[in-house]
Structure 1
Amino acid sequence: MAHGGNPIFNGKSFRGATQAPPVPQAPYGAPYGQQPYGQAPYGQQPYAQQGWGTQPQSMTDDQLRQMYAQPSAGPADTGRMTFDDVIMKTAACLGAVLVGAAITLTVGLSLASMLMIVGALGGFVLALVNTFKKQPSPALILAYAALEGLFLGGLTRILDTQFPGVGLQAVIGTLSVFAVTLLLFKSGKVRATPRAMRFFMIAIIGYAVFSLVNMVLVWTGAVQEPFGLRTSVEIFGIPLGVFIGLLAIGLAAFSLIMDFTSIEEGVRNGAPQRFSWTAAFGLTVTLVWLYVEIIRLLAILRGND
């Protein structure tokens, strides 16, 4: 797999790589290093032409000193992904999320509910498109972020009406989990090891199956509670949604660890600069998921008071 097996770049094509020119070979029958008759030997220049050690006539001594005194080209100069690129692209995506959320937070409640559905469906479609697209598209990634903003704004508007202040609490909780996860990753105490990855895959499949079953039960009216099995089932007097929510938040936090690992490997292995958009997209998806799980958990806790 190209670039050290970085999961962000699976299936991506890397263009622009060049190979070193082949070593000049002597013609058949000629001794090694000898050129055909009338041509200069290998490594020598023809008569009256400049050799390797000859100073070009068009450059002065000062120009040569300035040229050799310049620092080596960094990743940004060679078109490679950097941490700054990922930070800037992620900030752009989160800015698009905030714009979309601001729209649904300022319009009427009925219109906000409709925009929330549009954002949820449109964001889901663009999430699939961006996930399976081999080359990242900044326009599609920003469009996904804006649609997710519509969804998050509408969801926050509805829940905040029932439980005042829950939206601000969810924002603080999301930022707190992100900061703690980043610090743990930077300290090296938490890593995406193969064993942790296997546990993550098993847990995420189980969570996806539960969410799908719960959604079907709510849509068909089999369960009357707004959060379905999350609030209709209790364990020792605690809603099932509390345990499920804590598990989902833990999965989202580990997904952040996976995102950080992919970004680190991409920068270290010299991934093309355009894939900083892919890294930003991955972080945006995880942060949206984390926010949804936190605000739903807070709503369940507030509703159980």
Structure 2
Amino acid sequence: MRSSNPILRRLPTAPPPPAHYGPPPQQAYSYGGRTYAVPTDPRTGWAPPVAQDVMTIDDVVVKTVTLLGTAVAAAAATWIVVPATAMTPVWIAAMLIGLVLGLVISFAQVTNPVVLIGYAVVEGVFLGAVSKAFETRWDGIVLQAVIATLGVFFTMAGLYKARIIRATPKFTRIVIGAAAGLAVVTLVNLLITMFTGSAGPLRDGGGLAIVFSLICIVVAALMFVVTFGQIEEGIRAGLPRRYGWLGAFGILVELVWLYLEMLRLISFLQDD
């Protein structure tokens, strides 16, 4: 049976092993384009008794809290230390570094905690500079955006836990495709803004900009479901514990994206 996880493909399984023999129930798994063989007992052909160094939901939660806490601390430090006149170059530099580092982590499937915590620091610097810039112009907007972001996150977590929304293969393909398309459009719009100095219709606060932000918010919210599904499937497959960092990384990226779109949407509505 093929997995719904685009980066995890489970191979056919054999009949159930004795009860004391443990996960994963497949002979190999592929993660991030690499195939890993599951050690087997030569007498039974099954994996030996369950190892302790495997992914668990509690471990993923701890790693997620670690990355989020690091990002928040870096954002607070940036807000306090960096003067308002330096905010623009700081957020541009942090954005570019974060973009490159994020792509490397995604495509290389980096699970080194030092690299991932470093990424969280860069994202925190970026968020701190952007948030202070928005707060300077729209008083109270940061608190509103934080509340809205957390509200969406916990709502999607509740819907996923209740199995009201599920990460089926078709759902996953559609949402990832939509997110990739929006990322390309956003990047192109950013390049146009940098070269022309104009925000363009997607970010100028007009009707089209509001609709675009709403679409981004919906897709970012649905991406949580995809990530929850990937984490759950990785746990079922008995992936090594270090892969929990990738699940935490995915949640951090989606929270940052959602928060930025909330900031933009609220700023558009307040200007109106």
Fold match (TM-score > 0.5):
yes
CA distance change for structure 1 residues 120 and 135 in 2, over 3 Å: closer, same or farther? closer
- Which residue in the other structure is 1:196 paired with? 171
Give the residue type in structure 1 aligned to 2:118.
Answer: A
- Which residue in the other structure is 1:251 paired with? 219
- Which residue in the other structure is 2:202 paired with? 230
- Which residue in the other structure is 1:86 paired with? 60
Counterpart Cα distance in 2 of 1:146 and 1:120: 12
Within 5 Å, give how 1:158-169 maps onto structure 2: 158-169=133-144
Give secondary structure in 1 for the equivalent of 2:53.
coil
Pairwise CA RMSD: 2.4
Counterpart Cα distance in 2 of 1:159 and 1:233: 14
List per-residue Cα deviations over 1:237-266 (Å, max 9, x = no partner).
xx2111111100110011100010011111
Counterpart Cα distance in 2 of 1:5 and 1:259: 11
User: After TM superposition, where is structure 1 displaced by more than 4 Å over at least 4 residues in a row?
Assistant: 231-234
Counterpart Cα distance in 2 of 1:233 and 1:6: 36
- Decide which of 39, 46, 56 is 1:18's aligned counterpart: 39
CA distance change for structure 1 residues 135 and 158 in 2, over 3 Å: closer, same or farther? closer
Contact 2:104 2:110 in 1 (8 A): no
List per-residue Cα deviations over 1:248-296 (Å, max 9, x = no partner).
0110011100010011111112111111111111111111111111111
Within 5 Å, give how 1:47-86 maps onto structure 2: 78-86=52-60
- Which residue in the other structure is 2:183 paired with? 208
- Which residue in the other structure is 2:260 paired with? 292
CA distance change for structure 1 residues 186 and 162 in 2, over 3 Å: closer, same or farther? same
Within 5 Å, give how 1:115-264 maps onto structure 2: 115-221=90-196, 224=198, 227-232=199-204, 234=206, 239-264=207-232
Contact 1:13 1:135 in 2 (8 A): no
Give the alignment's TM-score, normalised by structure 2.
0.81
Give secondary structure in 2 for the equivalent of 1:230.
coil
Contact 1:229 1:241 in 2 (8 A): yes
Does residue 105 (structure 1) correspond to residue 79 (structure 2)? The answer is yes
Counterpart Cα distance in 1 of 2:205 and 2:149: 26
Counterpart Cα distance in 1 of 2:205 and 2:90: 31
Counterpart Cα distance in 2 of 1:143 and 1:203: 28
Contact 1:13 1:134 in 2 (8 A): no
Give secondary structure in 2 for the equivalent of 1:178.
helix
The aligned length equals: 244
Contact 2:67 2:117 in 1 (8 A): yes
Give the alignment's TM-score, normalised by structure 1.
0.73
Give the residue type in structure 2 aligned to 1:229.
Answer: P
Counterpart Cα distance in 1 of 2:52 and 2:260: 39
Counterpart Cα distance in 2 of 1:117 and 1:233: 21
Contact 2:32 2:107 in 1 (8 A): no
Contact 1:159 1:167 in 2 (8 A): yes
List per-residue Cα deviations over 1:133-172 (Å, max 9, x = no partner).
2451111100001100001111100011010111111110
List per-residue Cα deviations over 1:112-143 (Å, max 9, x = no partner).
33322221111111101211224511111000
Give secondary structure in 2 for the equivalent of 1:229.
coil
Quick one: percent identity of the two aligned structures?
A: 36
